[in-house]
Amino acid sequence: MTDRTARVRELNLYRQYFELVAAGTKTIEVRVKYPHLADLAAGDTIRFRIKGTDETCDVQVLRVTEYPDFEALLDGEGAANVNPTASRKQQLTNIRNIYSPEKEALGALAISIRVAGQ
């Protein structure tokens, strides 16, 4: 058994998603499987920041699940957990406006989160 120290990661988030995370209604964060996120694990803390501001929200990572693409992620996690204010079709469009097909090809991460202290 290995002894792993939980870490704090800082990630930027668009305001509309930040507000859903801070309210506790967005429980799955979607990211591309970039190398710097490959070792993200349950117990870690993510400090979301609205780019260009001092606004932050700390969340605890509950689990990280890898999917081959965004469609599989939305099917596996449930679109309402990713964004309860948008349809699955709209979410897929929004995610693909953020991430290019080349980035999606790296794989998609569903990061199950809970606002710290809740």
Q: pTM above 0.85?
A: yes
Q: Is the pLDDT of residue 4 over 70?
A: no
**What pLDDT, on the 0 to 100 scale, is given for residue 103?**
97
CB 100 within 8 A of CB 92: no
**What pLDDT, on the 0 to 100 scale, is given for residue 5?**
74
Q: Over the Cα atoms of the chain, what is R_g?
A: 14
Enumerate domains of the chain plus CATH numbers. Answer: 8-115 (2.30.130.30)
CA atoms within 13 A on the CB side of 27: 10
Residue-wise pLDDT for 16-49, tens only, equals 999 999 999 999 999 999 999 989 999 999 999 9
Q: Is the pLDDT of residue 1 over 60?
A: no
**Percent of the chain scoring above 70 in pLDDT:** 96
Strand order in the sheet with 56-67: 8-12, 45-49, 56-67, 108-115, 28-32
